[in-house]
């Protein structure tokens, strides 16, 4: 998936994103998130808003495995 693919699926939408941990080998995280504002240019990381924890997190684009 590219930055643009991910951005288009999350912008103003609530979705579950699954991504691989960079710190713990073979561990995946799933977060309910959105991109509420179009404030970021294309990058190797994407800034998303974690709806449950009410905080922003950045996720490395190459680690994202699924968006549902």
Q: Residue 17 burial by CB count (10 A; 0-12/13-18/19+): exposed, middle or buried? A: buried
Q: What is the pLDDT of residue 55?
A: 97
For residues 24 and 61, give the distance between their C-alpha atoms in angstroms, rounded to a whole number: 17
Q: What is the pLDDT of residue 33?
A: 98
In tens, the pLDDT along 11-55 reads 999 999 999 998 888 899 999 999 999 999 999 999 999 999 999
Q: What is the pLDDT of residue 22?
A: 84
């Amino acid at each position: 998936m590219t930055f643009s693919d991910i951005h288009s699926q999350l912008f103003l939408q609530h979705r579950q994103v699954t991504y691989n941990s960079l710190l713990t080998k073979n561990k995946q995280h799933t977060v309910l998130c959105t991109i509420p504002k179009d404030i970021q240019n294309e990058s190797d990381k994407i800034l998303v808003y974690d709806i449950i924890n009410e905080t922003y997190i950045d996720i490395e684009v190459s680690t994202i495995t699924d968006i549902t």
